[in-house]
Amino acid sequence: MHASLLQQLNCCPAPRSEILCFPHAGGSASYFQRWAAHLPEGVILRALQLPLREDRLELPPLTDMAELVRLLIKEVTALPKRPCILLGHSMGAIIAWEMALALEQCRQPVSHLFISGQTPPDVMRQSQFHLGSDQQLIAEVARFSATPASLFEFPALRELVLEQLRHDYALIERWQPTTTEKLSSPITVLHGREDSEVTLHEAQCWSKFTSSEFRLYSWPGDHFYLTTHWQAILHQLCQRLFSHTPDMP
């Protein structure tokens, strides 16, 4: 069992920089696994692995954002200091935002923050799905393509997936923004043009939260557009790390 919340997804004998990824509610580190084979030399890829999934099934859930960020900061600040990019999608975007703020307070500002599939901190919607019935939670996630409906047809899987989702929704729905101050690091927002959760205007409003460079890129697709366009997203990440980009298949 891995003790680390941030799991390294690739072998990197001579690391020079890091990409830290934070998945959506119900997601796991393995969501980013296929990215590992397409990175340039010298880049470590790590991804958040919350409890109740894969190799951390027996660990107690984390439903407090401040506690999660505290634990993550402890891990990240213990790593060798290297250029570091954060990418978060949906729930993970809020974790990445809070991580970027906390690292700046530790005088370790990130090189770049990538936000995907999330409204800015001052446009958070109020919901309480983590307190709802199983059917309400299933109906909510059924609107997205990330959790196959077939998972809920098997009692053992249904129980596990619902537990993951309920605790992840609690994490994001109980969250209160630490601050709405500007980040000194550049922010790039990634957007699915048919995303029902984030409008183009809301995506553009992230520009208010950086005193540095802001960019926005959009692709065809819904809330999980990045499942299709992951190579283009990885290209953008690597452009921010190096003047060259990785070879893409």
Confidence of residue 215 (pLDDT cuts 50, 70, 90): very high
List of residues 6+ apart from 83 with CB closer than 8 A: 16, 17, 18, 111, 241
How confident is residue 225, by pLDDT bands cut at 50, 70 and 90? Answer: very high
Q: Would the pLDDT of 248 be above 80?
A: no
Which secondary structure element, helix H or strand E, spans residue 189, and what is its range? strand 187-192
The whole-number pLDDT of residue 159 equals 79
pLDDT at 148 (0 to 100) = 66
State both tokens at 83: 């250029």
With 80 as the cut, is the pLDDT of residue 141 above it? no
Question: How far, in Å, are 24, 44, 89, 191 from residue 47 at the CA level?
Answer: 11, 10, 12, 20
pLDDT tens, position by position, 69-85: 999 999 999 999 999 99
- Where is average pLDDT lowest: 41-50, 95-104, 128-137? 128-137
Q: What mean pLDDT value characterizes the chain?
A: 88
Q: Are 92 and 115 in contact (CB under 8 A)?
A: no
> In Å, what is the CA distance from 192 to each residue of 128, 143, 148, 217, 233?
25, 15, 20, 9, 12
